[in-house]
Amino acid sequence: MNNALKKGGLPIIVLLFAAAVAWLMVNSRSDLPRRERAALVPVVDVVTAQPGPVPITLRSRGTVTPQYNIELVSEVSGRVVWVAEAFEQGAQVQQGEPLLRIDPIDYEVALSEARAAVASAELSLAEVRVLEMRAAVNDAKATLAAARDRLRQAEVDLRNTEIVAPFDAIIDAKRVDYGQYVQGGSAVMTLLSTEKVQVRLPLLASDLPFIDDAPEGADLAHPVTLGATFGREQYQWQAQLVRIEKRVDEQTRVFHALAEVERPYDQSLHTRALSIGQFVEAEIAGTAVMNAVRLPRSALHGGETVFLVQGDQLVRRAVTVARSDGTTVVVSAGLNAGDRVVVSRLDLMVEGMPVTVKAG
């Protein structure tokens, strides 16, 4: 037995000694210093609220159209014996400018015959008055009145052999030319008026509260700026909103406003002519929202809520949004002067959360 202890005991004693030394080393080592974890406070951007009148701009687009678009017809028949140099498609003409002449010979003859008939009727009336034939006097008066009516018609027909522009216009299409025979009542040209042009602008129902109504026939008090780009150049024209159509489009559910531009081809008024058929962008000066604040859209949370910084904490505040667009919102109620509104977007934002306002 002693021999067995001698053979197997030595390793056990060595192991026990090693374990004791290891225990002493671990328990005699001083504790490592603990590092306190610094609390991370998010930094936010703020906008200081200053309520006041906030201007509203309504944006739309449309195509320039003439105030009048007519088919001008000939009121007499005959062959075209003269055309003006300006009688070309796309040409601009002035009110009263002669454009076509129809052979007047038949109407000159008719005028001479009408004058002779009037003279004869006047003579007949004078004769029956001298003879005091009362019954015949009434017949003579009726004959004279009819002769004078035919004379006026002959004078009108002769004047109508010359076709003139009824207003300042662009010739959109020509239907006849030199040497062609024209029937009375047939179209000879299409004219687009240029004294003023119109742009029909679609508006949403949410736009209408920012346009003041006006009495029938009066212009709405909302200036409109029309814009278009030609190459690298941008041009603008000043227009006036004249009315809101009293119906809504059944397909698109939008309303339409009508803007007008005076003398669009007069380059003493405009840096560039505003051509009929041109596509333009429109900015309408809407009614300002009083006692309101404009904020970046990023300030809005959950529809109509914002976060304020009070002290060093977030405070949730319900607000009233009067209007919103792609980048901004107009808050008409819920904010006071000096309120610091958070415009940063954090992953987590809850009331009472500590924050630091970004300097500058």
- Fold classification of 44-55+290-357 is 2.40.420
Largest interatomic CA distance in the chain: 189
**Residue-wise pLDDT tens digits, 44-68:** 999 999 999 999 999 999 999 999 9
Give the tens place of pLDDT for each residue, 177-216: 999 999 999 999 999 999 999 999 999 999 999 998 766 6
What does the domain layout of the chain look like in residue ranges?
44-55+290-357, 58-66+194-287, 70-193
Residue 329's identity, in one-letter code, is: V
AA identity, residue 30: S
Distances (CA, A) of 290 to 53, 169, 198, 204, 266: 4, 44, 31, 21, 38
Fold of the domain built from segment(s) 70-193: OB fold (Dihydrolipoamide Acetyltransferase, E2P) (2.40.50)
DSSP state of 104: -
* DSSP assignment letter at 299: G
CA distance 171 to 72: 10
In this structure, which amino acid lies at residue 221?
A
pLDDT in tens, 217-243: 566 889 999 999 998 999 999 999 999
pLDDT of residue 5: 43
Spell out, as residue ranges, where the chain has pLDDT lower than 70: 1-39, 132-135, 214-219, 360
By C-alpha distance, which of 105, 111, 139 is closest to 125? 139
Q: Give 93's strand partners.
A: 169
Q: How far is CA 347 from CA 42, 44, 235, 350, in A?
A: 10, 12, 44, 10
pLDDT, position 135:
67
Same fold, 58-66+194-287 and 70-193: no
Q: Residue 137's pLDDT is what?
A: 80
Nearest residue to 79 via CA among 173, 161, 174, 189: 161
pLDDT at 1 (0 to 100): 45
- The pairing of strands 92-93 and 320-324 is unpaired
Three-state secondary-structure class, residue 23: helix
- CATH fold, domain 58-66+194-287, is Elongation Factor Tu (Ef-tu); domain 3 (2.40.30)
